[in-house]
């Protein structure tokens, strides 16, 4: 790592983006802001920029500023871009960073779900790299770094189970948005919190892991871990297992990604707590409660644009659920219906993935209207 790395934060006003801004303030000797973006929260973006008045800011709701940001990412001078945009909207920005051969600290899992194969190829062709910011994939990245080049037998993704993990199944039809948004462990935005309740978020992480770590469906397993302290585990070919553990705070994986490959002390992040780590449990997920997981393995096996279809349909359905237009129990069956109706889209390029995204949104919306 050079003396100072220039960092662009996309989605700076969201949960992950704000944590990144805090880290930039604490590590000004090694990390220098190079730009910030938000979608529409102009006042919040201006508040962030007050600390770094020389930094460019972009409000991507404005098409002209969006295009200017894409141009900056493709041709500008910076070392790291943290993409913390939510949803499919983040994909073109991930593409731009990797075309520039820069490091992409990726919190926008949808980029890899939609077009993982194309993005991994872009990184390889242009000398870029992807450092995952999802806590689970950051954990796997850290575990694999302990045994470089050795390969692995199994990747274990852990999941809290979300807000409804103890809700009786016969009450799922009546679940309200408020219930599904009450996550027991993590403070996240509405879409990811609903996706945690359906386990669609974990489905996305299965697809993301397959691309990031060149894993096939048989090498990825999910375990319910209620405490959210074990962030994920890797089993190696000799049967040994490494786990990465820590408090459920997204500041940890953000800090790791921005400083990689170095371990840098931080005055705020709290380390080992024997009480927090004293009672950890793991259990297999109930397939009846979490049917979305099987959809993910189907996507990994099928490839093509199935990930783009899964993500686009889910974005539509989560919004429809939050508006009260579909039931909680409608979400996963409609996702399965969208995957089954795939007319054969490919995802060889980013444009292929975006075409599938458009089709899937229209398909899911037509089902919502029918429902």
Q: Are residues 228 and 210 in the same domain?
A: yes
Is 351 domain-assigned?
Answer: yes
Is 138 domain-assigned?
Answer: no
Domains held by the chain: number: 3
The partner residues of 159 in beta bridges, in order of sequence, read 224
Domain carrying residue 326: 304-371
User: What is the rounded distance in angstroms from the CA atom of residue 18 to the CA atom of residue 143?
Assistant: 26
Alpha carbon 9 to chain centroid, angstroms: 15
Place of tokens 């020389």: 54
Output the DSSP codes for 40-57: S-HHHHHHHHTT-TTS-E
Q: Are residues 286 and 326 in the same domain?
A: no
Is 187 domain-assigned?
Answer: yes
Q: Are residues 166 and 185 in the same domain?
A: yes
In 3-state terms, what secondary structure has residue 283? Answer: strand
Q: Which backbone phi and psi does 152 adopt, to 5 degrees?
A: -150, 160
Is 49 domain-assigned?
Answer: yes
Q: Give me the pLDDT at residue 108, please.
A: 97
Q: What's the token pair of residue 241?
A: 């297992």
User: What is the rounded distance in angstroms from the CA atom of residue 140 to the CA atom of residue 160?
Assistant: 17
Is 185 domain-assigned?
Answer: yes
Q: Give me the pLDDT at residue 1, please.
A: 44
CATH at 357: 1.10.1740.10
Q: What's the token pair of residue 283?
A: 């259990």
User: What is the rounded distance in angstroms from the CA atom of residue 113 to the CA atom of residue 313?
Assistant: 13
Cα dihedral 357, 329, 137, 147, rounded to 10, equals -120
Report yes or no: 83 and 106 within 8 Å, Cβ to Cβ: yes
Q: What's the token pair of residue 221?
A: 């397993």
In degrees, to the nearest 5, what angle opens at C-alpha 188 toward C-alphas 202 and 98? 70
Q: Give me the pLDDT at residue 66, please.
A: 96
Q: What's the token pair of residue 355?
A: 């075409």
Q: Are residues 26 and 81 in the same domain?
A: yes
Q: Give me the pLDDT at residue 354, please.
A: 96
User: What is the rounded distance in angstroms from the CA atom of residue 313 to the CA atom of residue 199?
Assistant: 15
Task: Please say which residue of 132, 157, 190 terminates a domain.
Answer: 132
Q: Which long-range contacts (CB under 8 A, 24 or more apart) does 170-175 make?
A: 172/328, 172/329, 173/327, 173/328, 173/329, 175/327, 175/328, 175/329
Report yes or no: 329 and 171 within 8 Å, Cβ to Cβ: no
User: CA dist 146 to 211, 234, 243, Å?
Assistant: 20, 10, 11
Q: Are residues 272 and 160 in the same domain?
A: yes
In 3-state terms, what secondary structure has residue 67? Answer: helix
Place of tokens 């990797």: 98
User: What is the rounded distance in angstroms from the CA atom of residue 249 to the CA atom of residue 219?
Assistant: 27
Residue 240 half-sphere exposure toward CB, CA atoms < 13 A: 8
Is 254 domain-assigned?
Answer: no
Q: What's the token pair of residue 340?
A: 């089954």
User: What is the rounded distance in angstroms from the CA atom of residue 11 to the CA atom of residue 240?
Assistant: 38
Q: Are residues 287 and 309 in the same domain?
A: no
Residue by residue, pLDDT tens for the chain (371 residues) are 447 899 999 999 999 999 999 999 999 999 999 999 999 999 999 999 998 999 999 999 999 999 999 999 999 999 999 999 999 999 999 999 999 999 999 999 999 999 999 999 999 999 999 999 999 999 999 999 988 888 999 999 999 998 899 999 999 999 999 999 988 777 778 888 999 999 999 999 999 999 999 999 999 999 999 999 999 999 999 999 999 999 999 999 999 999 999 999 999 998 888 888 899 999 999 999 999 999 999 999 999 999 999 999 999 999 999 999 999 999 999 999 999 999 999 989 999 999 999 999 999 999 988 76
Q: Are residues 19 and 125 in the same domain?
A: yes
Q: Are residues 296 and 311 in the same domain?
A: no
Q: Are residues 290 and 239 in the same domain?
A: yes
Q: Give me the pLDDT at residue 371, please.
A: 62
Is 122 domain-assigned?
Answer: yes
């Amino acid at each position: 790592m050079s003396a100072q790395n220039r960092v662009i934060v996309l989605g700076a006003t969201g949960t992950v983006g704000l944590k990144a801004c805090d880290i930039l303030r604490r590590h000004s000797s090694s990390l220098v802001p190079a730009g910030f973006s938000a979608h529409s929260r102009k006042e919040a973006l201006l508040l962030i920029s007050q600390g770094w008045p020389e930094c460019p800011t972009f409000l991507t709701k404005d098409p002209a500023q969006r295009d200017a940001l894409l141009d900056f990412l493709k041709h500008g001078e910076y070392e790291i871009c943290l993409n913390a945009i939510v949803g499919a909207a983040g994909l073109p920005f991930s593409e731009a960073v990797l075309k520039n051969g820069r490091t992409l600290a990726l919190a926008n899992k949808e980029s890899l779900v939609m077009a993982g194969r194309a993005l991994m190829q872009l990184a390889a062709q242009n000398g870029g790299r992807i450092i995952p910011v999802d806590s689970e994939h950051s954990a796997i990245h850290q575990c694999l770094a302990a045994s470089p080049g050795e390969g692995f037998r199994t990747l274990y993704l852990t999941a809290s189970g979300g807000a409804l993990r103890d809700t009786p199944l016969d009450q799922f039809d009546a679940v309200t948005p408020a219930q599904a948004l009450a996550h027991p462990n993590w403070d996240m935005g509405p879409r990811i919190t609903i996706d945690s309740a359906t386990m669609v978020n974990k489905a996305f992480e299965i697809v993301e892991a397959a691309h990031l770590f060149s894993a096939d469906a048989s090498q990825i397993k999910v375990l319910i871990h209620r405490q959210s302290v074990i962030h994920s585990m890797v089993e190696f070919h000799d049967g040994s297992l490494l786990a990465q553990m820590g408090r459920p705070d997204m500041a940890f994986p953000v800090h790791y990604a921005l400083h990689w490959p170095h371990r840098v002390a931080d005055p705020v992040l709290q380390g080992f707590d024997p009480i927090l780590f004293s009672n950890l449990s793991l259990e297999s997920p109930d397939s009846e409660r979490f049917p979305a997981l099987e959809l993910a393995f189907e996507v990994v096996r099928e490839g093509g644009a199935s990930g783009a279809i899964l993500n686009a349909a889910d974005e539509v359905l989560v919004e429809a659920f939050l508006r009260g237009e579909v039931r909680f129990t409608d979400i996963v069956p409609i996702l399965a219906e969208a995957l089954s109706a795939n007319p054969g889209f490919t995802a060889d390029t980013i444009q292929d993935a975006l075409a599938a995204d458009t089709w899937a949104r229209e398909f899911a919306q037509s089902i919502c209207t029918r429902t």
